[in-house]
Amino acid sequence: MSLRIGVLGGGQLGRMMALAGYPLNLSFSFFDRASDCPSAALGPRFGDDTDSAESLQAFIDSADVFTYEFENIPTAWVNTIAAQKPVFPSVKSLAISQNRLNEKKLFAELNIPSARFAAIEAADDLKQAIQALGLPLVIKTVTDGYDGKGQFLLRSEDQLSECWNALGAQVPLIAEEFIQFKRELSIIAVRGQQGDTRFYPLAENHHHRGILSHSIVPAPNLDENTQLMAERYISSVLHEMNHVGVLTLELFETRHGLLANETAPRVHNSGHWSIEGAHCSQFENHVRAVAGLPLGSTRAEKPSAMLNIIGRHPNSHEILRVTDTHLHLYGKTERENRKLGHITVIADSYAELNMRISRLADALPNPMALHLSR
Ligand code: AMP
């Protein structure tokens, strides 16, 4: 009999989990308010009224084991499910990852370097944070932030009231020192139910207007020590959380080494390259972990890249004409800043990869911030 995985959230991440799970004879159900969510065609959907206990119970009854594809969900949902059936990752991973202060405290406990920070409860705390940490500061909401939302770059004291007006209603906030990073990296790992762990190569991530525009993997010009250091950091987070499934750690590479930025207790946009670029994708490895199956190889044989399709759909013919390119569309309608799909591309060398990325970028309707690596 097929094991059914219940996924909290029905976005593109859930959709890609299901696409990876069906060949393993896994089936899926989803908990999402939107009847036209990207996962809707891949299994029964529950949650027309996500606030009702009956709706959640119907979802719990629909599956054998549970996971989530979005961390901004109430921990109460996960606790209710966990009282009846297994949930991976557990509520501990969720509670830490959905709260920036909890994350920072965990990094400190585990001796993982990260930006110095201060908790902000009131307007006066901002002034104290400036005294303690200097300027500029990045002010962020502690919960519910994603794609750069809920953030304010505080450059001078003159902006204090503007900053407070923008974010003060969402306290608690966190003030972080501004990191002069060389580049942004992320590491994705998967941990099975027996504690076995595998790591994907570090991704180099580029953002445009706060949203990931493209990732290059393995991050070019990387010394072996950086990959090992990232693996060491994510291992200690995985172990501390007793995490099962995929976990992502976003990092800043600085002149003095790596600094941890944040974790996501789930498959991640910077890992989409792995669908064609790794032996076993982040989606397949996640569902294998959730289903209690052996993990697959995270090895990447060649450099690969992922480009996000944001806001407007490209012409599929123009994209697929580029050699070794794959197109993944999420079935969404066009809307500004909305992730509609992504492209993966593989090449024998970084030079060839960069040429293909340039051609793909030209075929995308929205300009990307292209800082191509050599
Ligand atoms: P986050 O939501 O924490 O991933 O932040 C979104 C983006 O803001 C990151 O990808 C960075 O480009 C930038 N950012 C976040 N925190 C800092 C920081 N402390 N210093 C400099 N840039 C930051």
What pLDDT is recorded for position 210?
87
Domain 3-87 has CATH 3.40.50.720: no
CA of 94 to the centre of ligand 1 (A): 20
- Residue 58: CB atoms within 10 A of its CB come to 16
What CATH architecture does domain 183-363 belong to? 2-Layer Sandwich (3.30)
**Does the pLDDT at position 343 exceed 90?**
yes
| Residue 178 beta carbon below 6 angstroms from any ligand 1 atom | yes
How far CA 119 is from CA of 101, 144, 290, in Å, comes to: 7, 16, 35
| Residue 133 beta carbon below 6 angstroms from any ligand 1 atom | no
| Residue 135 beta carbon below 6 angstroms from any ligand 1 atom | no
**Does the pLDDT at position 122 exceed 90?**
yes
Mean pLDDT computed over 360-365: 95
Counting beta carbons within 10 angstroms of the beta carbon of residue 23, is it exposed (0 to 12), middle (13 to 18) or buried (19 or more)? Answer: exposed
Max CA distance (Å), the chain? 64
| Residue 250 beta carbon below 6 angstroms from any ligand 1 atom | yes
Q: What percent of the chain has pLDDT over 90?
A: 93
**Does the pLDDT at position 374 exceed 60?**
no
CA of 34 to the centre of ligand 1 (A): 30
Which residue's alpha carbon is at the smallest distance from atom 7 of ligand 1?
148
pLDDT digits (tens, 9 = 90+) for 300-324: 999 999 999 999 999 999 999 999 9
How far CA 293 is from CA of 164, 193, 319, in Å, comes to: 49, 8, 35
- Residues near 139 by beta carbon (within 8 Å), at least 6 away in sequence: 120, 126, 151, 152, 153, 154, 163, 167, 173, 174, 175, 176
What pLDDT is recorded for position 371?
47
- Counting from 1 in the atom list of ligand 1, the atom nearest the Cα of 180 is 21
List where CATH 3.30.1490.20 sits in the chain. Answer: 116-177
**Does the pLDDT at position 372 exceed 50?**
no
What pLDDT is recorded for position 50?
83
| Residue 174 beta carbon below 6 angstroms from any ligand 1 atom | no
- Residue 232: CB atoms within 10 A of its CB come to 12
What pLDDT is recorded for position 101?
97
- Counting from 1 in the atom list of ligand 1, the atom nearest the Cα of 205 is 10
Mean pLDDT computed over 196-218: 96
> With b meaning 16 or more CB within 10 Å and e meaning fewer, what string describes 168-199?
eeeeebbbbbebebebbbbbbbbbbbeeebbb
Mean pLDDT computed over 186-212: 96
User: Which of 103, 138, 180 has the most ligand 1 atoms within 8 A of CB, as the residue to mutate?
Assistant: 138
CA of 305 to the centre of ligand 1 (A): 21
| Residue 262 beta carbon below 6 angstroms from any ligand 1 atom | yes
Counting beta carbons within 10 angstroms of the beta carbon of residue 67, is it exposed (0 to 12), middle (13 to 18) or buried (19 or more)? Answer: buried
What pLDDT is recorded for position 369?
53
Instruction: Give the angle 213-262-196 at the CA atoms, nearest 5°.
Output: 100
- Counting from 1 in the atom list of ligand 1, the atom nearest the Cα of 100 is 3
DSSP structure class, residue 216:
E
| Residue 22 beta carbon below 6 angstroms from any ligand 1 atom | no
DSSP structure class, residue 87:
B
CA of 52 to the centre of ligand 1 (A): 35
What's the mean per-residue pLDDT of the chain?
95
Which residue's alpha carbon is at the smallest distance from atom 8 of ligand 1?
148
Higher pLDDT, 336 or 144: 336
CA of 24 to the centre of ligand 1 (A): 37
Which residue's alpha carbon is at the smallest distance from atom 6 of ligand 1?
148
What CATH architecture does domain 116-177 belong to? 2-Layer Sandwich (3.30)
Rounded Cα gap, residues 23 and 59, in angstroms:
23
CA of 242 to the centre of ligand 1 (A): 26
Grade residue 223 by pLDDT with cuts at 50, 70 and 90. confident
User: Which of 99, 133, 261, 308 has the most ligand 1 atoms within 8 A of CB, as the residue to mutate?
Assistant: 261
What pLDDT is recorded for position 293?
98
List where CATH 3.40.50.20 sits in the chain. Answer: 3-87
How far CA 39 is from CA of 34, 148, 221, in Å, comes to: 10, 25, 37
| Residue closest to 237 by CA, chosen among 147, 104, 140, 145 | 104
| Residue 138 beta carbon below 6 angstroms from any ligand 1 atom | yes
pTM for this model (two decimals): 0.96
- Counting from 1 in the atom list of ligand 1, the atom nearest the Cα of 177 is 19
| Structure tokens belonging to residue 158 | 């003159």
CA of 164 to the centre of ligand 1 (A): 19
Rounded Cα gap, residues 313 and 333, in angstroms:
9
Beta strands in 168-321 (DSSP E): 173-177, 183-191, 197-199, 203-208, 211-217, 245-254, 257-264, 304-310
